[in-house]
């Protein structure tokens, strides 16, 4: 099997299935299948689990680049779009649970919440920002947008910050868990800051070395065709 075939027939279906497991668990809980119980307040549990899964997938998506660069498994990028789209899927599910099961379609409350509750405002902003990313996730869009695709998709850094912030702010008192997410996000973003800084330094060194061609300095590209970083 070629690598492409392995991704198509093994790795991608595996990741796809794994991404559906939280949904299966939520469905079992909601309908009482297989003895799964969501406790005394299933609505909050559904809302929280969907939100948590969305955040986990968002951070996993952001982990793809560091992991592939640190391990040399550059093909991992082929899984990234699926992870990102599943993150979007769970954010939408989270929002739907909130609107339908929690607010019971009370749109006045929804409007009030979005306008007045900072953690909802932030979450809603993140949801809106994810929409263009999801729409432009196709190969055709990638080709059509070219360099601008990458610029657009850097929004994901902001979205992740908003997502973690939203989690941190809705907690009543025990902030231990959101702080773990803050730490992971700091690592993921810190990695990119350090990398950019190193690149700039390398570029400067090259310029000082004058003669050397600068072709080795590539933009930080996440696309499958991106050349490997030095």
Residues in contact with other proteins by CB under 8 A are: 34-37, 39-44, 100-104, 106, 109, 112-113, 116-119, 169-170, 172-174, 176
Minimum distance from residue 142 beta carbon to other proteins (Å): 39
- Smallest distance from ligand HEM to CB 180, Å: 11
What is the token pair recorded at 98? Answer: 């909130």
- Based on CB atoms, which residue is closest to other proteins, 35 or 140? 35
Q: What is the rounded distance in angstroms from the CA atom of residue 212 to the CA atom of residue 215?
A: 9
Closer of 79 and 113 to other proteins (Cβ)? 113
Which is closer to other proteins, CB of 30 or CB of 155? 30
Minimum separation from the CB atom of position 199 to ligand HEM (A) = 29
> Which of the listed partners (other proteins, ligand HEM, none) does 163 bind, with a CB threshold of 5 to 8 Å by partner kind?
ligand HEM
Which partner from the list ligand HEM, other proteins, none does 228 bind, CB cut-off 5 to 8 Å by kind?
Answer: none
Between CA 22 and CA 16 the distance in angstroms is: 11
CB 192 within 8 A of CB 220: yes
Nearest distance from C-beta of residue 70 to ligand HEM, angstroms: 25
Residue 54 near which of other proteins, ligand HEM, none (CB within 5-8 Å, type-dependent): ligand HEM
In the complex, which residues of this chain contact ligand HEM (CB under 6 A)? 44, 47-48, 51-52, 54-55, 58, 91, 94-95, 98, 120, 123-124, 126-127, 159, 163, 166-167, 170
Tell me the CA distances in angstroms from 170 to 30, 105, 204, one per residue in order: 23, 21, 44
State which residue, 84 or 123, has the beta carbon closest to other proteins: 123
- Decide whether 40 or 211 has the Cβ nearer to other proteins: 40
Smallest CA-to-CA distance from 55 within 135, 161, 134, 136 is with 161
User: In this structure, which long-range contacts are made by residues 42-50, counting pairs with CB atoms below 8 Å and at least 24 apart in sequence?
Assistant: 43/97, 43/101, 43/102, 44/102, 46/97, 46/101, 47/94, 47/97, 47/98, 47/101, 47/102, 49/22, 49/25, 50/22, 50/26, 50/90, 50/93, 50/94, 50/97
Nearest to 42 by CA among 32, 55, 52: 32
């Amino acid at each position: 099997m070629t690598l492409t075939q392995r991704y198509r027939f093994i790795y991608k279906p595996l990741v796809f299935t794994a991404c559906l497991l939280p949904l299966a668990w939520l469905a079992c809980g909601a309908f009482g299948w297989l003895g799964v119980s969501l406790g005394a307040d299933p609505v909050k549990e559904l809302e929280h689990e969907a939100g948590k899964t969305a955040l986990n997938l968002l951070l996993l998506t952001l982990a793809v680049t560091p992991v592939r660069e640190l391990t040399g498994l550059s093909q991992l990028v082929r899984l990234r779009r699926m992870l990102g789209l599943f993150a979007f899927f769970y954010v939408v599910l989270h929002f739907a649970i909130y609107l339908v099961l929690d607010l019971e379609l009370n749109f006045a409350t929804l409007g009030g919440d979005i306008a007045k509750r900072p953690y909802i405002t932030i979450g809603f902003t993140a949801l809106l920002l994810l929409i263009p990313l999801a729409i432009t996730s196709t190969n055709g869009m990638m080709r059509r947008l070219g360099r601008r695709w990458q610029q657009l998709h850097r929004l994901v850094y902001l979205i992740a910050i908003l997502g973690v912030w939203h989690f941190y702010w809705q907690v009543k008192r025990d902030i231990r868990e959101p702080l773990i997410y803050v730490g992971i996000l700091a690592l993921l973003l810190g990695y990119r800051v350090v990398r950019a800084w190193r690149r700039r330094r390398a570029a400067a060194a090259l310029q000082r070395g004058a003669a050397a061609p600068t072709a080795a300095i590539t933009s930080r590209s996440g696309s499958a065709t991106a050349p490997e970083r030095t």
